[in-house]
Amino acid sequence: MSLFPVGLYHFLILAAVLFVLGLFTMLTRKNAIAVLMGIELILNAANINFVAFTRYGGVNLGGQMTAIFVIVMAACEAAVALAIVLNLYRRSQTVSVVDANKLRD
Amino acid sequence: MNDLILISLVALGLPLVAFVLVIFNQKALADRAHLISTPAIAFSLVLSLYVAWMKLKGLPLTTFEWSMDWIQFGTLPGYGPLKITVGVLLDNITAILMVVVTSVSFLVHIFSSEYMKLDSRYARYFAYLGLFTAAMMGVILVNNFFGLYMCWELVGFTSYLLIGHWYEQTGPQLASKKAFITNRIGDAVMWMGILLLFTEFHTFNYREIFALIYQGLPITFSIFGLSPETTLTVAGLLLFSGAIAKSAQFPLHVWLPDAMEGPTPVSALIHAATMVAAGVYFTARIFPLLTGDAMLIVSCIGGFTALLAATIAITQTDIKRVLAYSTVSQLGLMIMSIGAGAVAAGLFHLVTHAAFKACLFLGAGSVIHAIHRAQHGTADSELDAQDMRNMGGLLKKMPITGWSFIVATLAISGLPLLAGFMSKDEILAGVTAYGKLQSTMQHSVESQPFYIDHNAIAILLPFVGGIVTILTAFYMWRQVFLVFFGVPREVSLFERIRESSRVMTVPIVVLAALCLWIWYGPNPLAPESGWFLKKWVRTSAQVIPPQTAPTYAIVPQVLATDDATHEEPEVSPASSPIPSSQTTSTLDRLPQMPHQLALEAERHTVAPIVGEVAIGSALFGLLLAWLLYMLRPGVASTIGRKLGPLYRFSLRGWYIDEIYEIAVVAPFLFVARGLAWVDDRVVDGLVNATARTTVLLSRVVGWFDRYIVDGIVTLVGATVQFLGLMTRSLQTGRIQTYLAWVVASVVTLFVVIHYVVLAKP
Amino acid sequence: MPTLFDIFFYLFAATIVVSAVLVCFSHNIVHAAFSLLFTFMAVAGVYVLLGADFLAVSQILIYVGGILVLLVFGVMLTNRVTNIDIRAAVRARIPAFVLCSGLLTVLILLLTTGHWISYKDQPWTNTPWNKNAVEQALAPDQGTEQEKHDKSGSHGTAPEIGKLMLTDYLLPFELVSVVLLVALLGAASIARQDPVPAKQEGGA
């Protein structure tokens, strides 16, 4: 396992690191928008994996197709999530995921 | 559907519509109810007249029938298809009775609009009249036992409502209950008869049943192990029980005199002209299946009732009770006639009786109404307005009512020139022929399960008829003399009496006119030549097995002559005896059985003598009444005192009510009280004991429930609650905590799988 | 000796990691959003390295042009500039760090111990969608004019993706368009000003 030449492993490890960083963002941030950013990082990591597998192992463009769909779903998710966050902010003057626990009880 | 049947149904529906309109608008209509009811019944009368005209004039030999499936039960296992059909049977007697019912009803409607003027339930009264008329039309029109039974009950129910019209008073209350219960007894037995036939033949239709019986009684037609022939006798008598109650025959006649508690027009319509005649009509309807034994019993019941009621009527003082017992007596004559095989004569008497008895009742109503008005606001208001002993000489004050009453009385006594003579003469001739033939019949003991000495009993029937004729003339003329002739016994009251208004007298006069002979035949002394008997109504052929028919010794001789005298073509039974459901069936052209032909022939031979005897008897009764009540007014009471016990026996109606009180009502009440005691002590005691035991048990169970079951449940609940508290700390509601748990789980899972599960040994 | 490919890879990888770390740890959420911009751009670069040109363009268009703008809007709308909240609060960093390092260890362990079959070691060549270019390079004069035009240079992945989108992936394509529509409608509906005043919430 060497630094050169760059192969599938390197892409996978890059994706893993990006994934863990996104996860860390999700875990530690209080701000809901920041949590959303973490989610985007995780989705990007997954996409890198898909594309890398397509490049190194695929016989067709299935991985890229999936990545495209993931991007579209990410757009949907961002739109809905931000709408929810805005609504939450309007109702309770906060965007903290820690404080948004009314449904618990 | 035939046009005539459709019109008949409309004639039936009109009174029903009037009933519905009036009963639901009582308050709005109030004393204007007759404005709806009377036109409806008038139109119904017009339609009935049209139907009768078309039927009798144009198609006297055709019978119309129309049926429809009413309720389909599908096919039952072990039984076959089960359905209930309703339909209309339109033959000559139906057409005639439609006219009778609607015309009497129409006249009574008119009469009532004056008579009931001040009644507080005027609208309801007219509504009930409409319902009664519709139900009565139903009885006449339906073609099956099921529909008949429904209308039959409806007729009885309206009768109950109308008898109890003045239910604030005790008399009408008790009378209506008595009428209803007595009728129920007969109807229940009648229903048994209907079901007996239905069980075997799987149909309610009259003609289908007759056809099936004609084809031969199946061996399965049997109850209590009796032979099919005897079972047919039983079935006929069970059916006849309905007529016993409805037509007030002994032993169920007791309700009719009491029913006079109702309004007088109701008595005229229901308890004289139509409803009580329904029993006679029904007996005539089922006549084809009456066996020889059944015929004898029917005629004996009729004869006994006629005699019984006539003997009671001679001592009654209430103007309406005399007429009531007279009705019972006349109905007895009709039943006797039908039982004796002279069905046409019985039906003829039914029609004429409807006219003159309705006239008599309306006349009595007019008298009572006049007295009531005279009493109004005077010291005489305590007098009984219906007691003939308070009347007298009323002919001067009420000439129209009086003369009409006299015409009707002439008719009922059976004097020539009037309809009553024609029908009564026919009945007497028929009964005489029957008695004569029965006493000479060949009788084999072993073929009859119930041995009845026909000879001894049947020969009495003509004499009963003669005695009843004398008594009828006597008590009717006694009534006329007491009410309309002689000196007024209550002078102050008498002075104020006025003739009733036109609205009341016109129906009476019309009915009196209907008592004349001309409506029924051209020759007042020869009823045989009248169109009623010659063209319209013929005694229907019997369908009973030949061995159950009475066998007369003289049959072979008369058969030949009889065939020659009858112009109608006889269809031989072999050609096509099975009637189909078509409009015209061969059943209508079925030849009469030999014994019937023998009766016909015999009747022809005895008729002239009987006619003379009938006139003589009637005149004798008239003279006797004149003698006792006009010539020597005091003699009657002297005789009554001399014959004290007999007089009271008659006055109290042979003590039959008292006998029933002791023999039926008292034991019934005794048993009822006993049962009530049992119910009160034993059953209630058991129930109470059960209740106490249950309470005790429930306490034990309750303790168990509270401490054991509830304890377990509480324990489970507490455990769950504890576990919930434990796990609740995990449920922070913070997404990130959940996420952290997920990540931790993934890591842990990997470690476990990698180093524990997949670890190489 | 690193090739140009390797150098670009490490360049993009470094950009991704650094900017992602900034997203994680930046105190200012606006800064985090800007770092995210660089991450997305670098990921697009990685896509280019992996021969996914259409995807790289999509990444820039959608992520940078759409999602990121949305996020920045969100930040702007929900944070008053003077508010202390603009400094993104963090919590429980230590356990999160432990967990994440554990997960990273696990992932790297899995990646390195697993056996990945990689049969295309030469980038830029040999891929099905670059085959034309290779054939063109090897035999430039063969075929008809039309074939020559088809084989002239790389057409990228866009035509291929377009064909796939309307053939094999037609159903997911339609579904995802419906989902997108519904999401947009839902977002509009949720974000709409509530006709009922918020004071009702205060009582609840």
Q: Which of B60-74, B133-147, B236-250, B616-630 has the lowest mean pLDDT?
A: B60-74
- Report which residue type is found at C182: V
User: Is the pLDDT assigned to residue B320 strictly greater than 60?
Assistant: yes
Beta-carbon separation of C106 and B750 below 8 A: yes
Q: Is B495 exposed, middle or buried (0-12, 13-18, 19+ CB in 10 A)?
A: exposed
State the architecture of A8-96 in CATH terms.
Answer: Orthogonal Bundle (1.10)
Question: Taking CA atoms, what residue in B is nearest to A27?
Answer: B736
The set of chains that have 3 or more CB pairs under 8 A with C is A, B
Whether C119 is in a domain gets the answer: no
Residue C74 sits in a domain whose CATH number is 1.20.120.1200
- Give yes or no for B732 touching A (CB within 8 A): yes
Locate B612 and state its tokens: 């003379």
Asked whether the bond before B591 is cis by omega within 30 degrees of 0, the reply is no
- How high is the pLDDT of residue B437? 78
Distance from CA of B734 to the nearest CA of A (A): 6
Residue C194 phi, psi (nearest 5): -70, 125
Beta-carbon separation of A23 and B731 below 8 A: no
Among B206, B31, B4, residue whose Cα is nearest residue B114:
B31
Whether C113 is in a domain gets the answer: no
The set of chains that have 3 or more CB pairs under 8 A with A is B, C
- How high is the pLDDT of residue B371? 84
Where does the pLDDT of residue B576 fall: very low under 50, low under 70, confident under 90, or very high at 90 and above? very low
Whether C79 is in a domain gets the answer: yes
B353 and B330 in contact (C-beta within 8 Å)?
A: yes
B-chain residues within 8 Å CB-CB of C108? Answer: none
Whether C118 is in a domain gets the answer: no
Domain count, chain C: 2
Beta-carbon separation of C106 and B751 below 8 A: yes
Q: What is the CA radius of gyration of chain C?
A: 24
User: Is the pLDDT assigned to residue B376 strictly greater than 50?
Assistant: yes
Beta-carbon separation of A64 and C100 below 8 A: no
> What b/e readout covers B315-325, taking b as 16+ CB neighbours within 10 angstroms?
bbebbbbbbbb
Tokens 């396992």, located at residue = A1
Q: Residues C76-110: pLDDT tens digits?
A: 887 654 454 544 556 678 888 888 999 999 888 88
| High-pLDDT (> 70) share of chain B, % | 91
B430 and B340 in contact (C-beta within 8 Å)?
A: yes
Q: What is the mean pLDDT of residues C59-85?
A: 78
Beta-carbon separation of A27 and B740 below 8 A: yes
Q: Is A44 exposed, middle or buried (0-12, 13-18, 19+ CB in 10 A)?
A: buried
Question: Taking CA atoms, what residue in A is nearest to B729?
Answer: A104
- How far is it, in rounded angstroms, from Cα B562 to Cα B567? 10
Where does the pLDDT of residue B582 fall: very low under 50, low under 70, confident under 90, or very high at 90 and above? very low
What is B254-270 written as a DSSP string?
THHHHGGGS-HHHHHII
Among C30, C101, C191, C190, residue whose Cα is nearest residue A34:
C30
- Give yes or no for B733 touching A (CB within 8 A): yes
B471 and B621 in contact (C-beta within 8 Å)?
A: yes
Q: Residues B511-521: pLDDT tens digits?
A: 888 888 877 87
- Report which residue type is found at B35: L
Strand partners, B516: B418
Chain B interface test: which of A29, A97, A103 (most B C-beta within 10 Å) = A97
User: Is the pLDDT assigned to residue C141 strictly greater than 80?
Assistant: no
**Full domain range(s) for residue C19:** 1-86
Q: Is the whole-model pTM more than 0.80?
A: no
Last residue of a domain, one of C56, C86, C116: C86
Tokens 């049997």, located at residue = B222
Residue B71 phi, psi (nearest 5): -125, 130
Sequence-separated (6 or more) residues with CB below 8 Å from residue C27: C87, C88
Among B303, B275, B284, B424, residue whose Cα is nearest residue B352:
B424
CA angle, B700 as apex, B695 and B702 as ends, to 5°? Answer: 85
Beta-carbon separation of B733 and A101 below 8 A: yes
As a 3-state breakdown, chain A gives helix, strand, coil percent values, each rounded to 5, of 75, 5, 20
The set of chains that have 3 or more CB pairs under 8 A with B is A, C
Distance from CA of A29 to the nearest CA of B (A): 9
Whether C67 is in a domain gets the answer: yes
| Domain limits, chain A | 8-96
Where does the pLDDT of residue B454 fall: very low under 50, low under 70, confident under 90, or very high at 90 and above? low
As a 3-state breakdown, chain C gives helix, strand, coil percent values, each rounded to 5, of 70, 0, 25
Residues 93-152 on C with a CB inside 8 Å of B are 95-96, 99-100, 102-103, 106, 109-110
Chain A interface test: which of C163, C190, C194, C200 (most A C-beta within 10 Å) = C190
Average pLDDT, chain B: 81
Question: Taking CA atoms, what residue in C is nearest to A63?
Answer: C52
- Among B50-59, B489-498, C49-58, the range of highest mean pLDDT: C49-58
- How high is the pLDDT of residue A74? 93
A-chain residues within 8 Å CB-CB of C103? Answer: 20, 23
- How far is it, in rounded angstroms, from Cα B597 to Cα B242? 28
Whether C144 is in a domain gets the answer: no
Whether C114 is in a domain gets the answer: no
User: Is the pLDDT assigned to residue B557 strictly greater than 50?
Assistant: no
Beta-carbon separation of C88 and A8 below 8 A: no
Beta-carbon separation of A71 and C89 below 8 A: no
User: Is the pLDDT assigned to residue C177 strictly greater than 90?
Assistant: yes
User: Is the pLDDT assigned to residue C150 strictly greater than 80?
Assistant: no
Locate C85 and state its tokens: 């909240």
User: Is the pLDDT assigned to residue C126 strictly greater than 60?
Assistant: no
Residues 12-41 on C with a CB inside 8 Å of B are none
B165 and B172 in contact (C-beta within 8 Å)?
A: yes
- How far is it, in rounded angstroms, from Cα B538 to Cα B288? 12
Locate C135 and state its tokens: 């054939």
Last residue of a domain, one of C86, C114, C136: C86
Q: Which residue has the higher pLDDT, B569 or B194?
A: B194
B71 and B85 in contact (C-beta within 8 Å)?
A: no
| High-pLDDT (> 90) share of chain B, % | 8
A54 and A64 in contact (C-beta within 8 Å)?
A: yes
Three-class SS state of A96 = strand
Residue B390 phi, psi (nearest 5): -90, 0
B-chain residues within 8 Å CB-CB of C100? Answer: 743
Average pLDDT, chain A: 85
Instruction: Identify the helix (H) or strand (E) that includes residue B81.
Output: strand B80-90
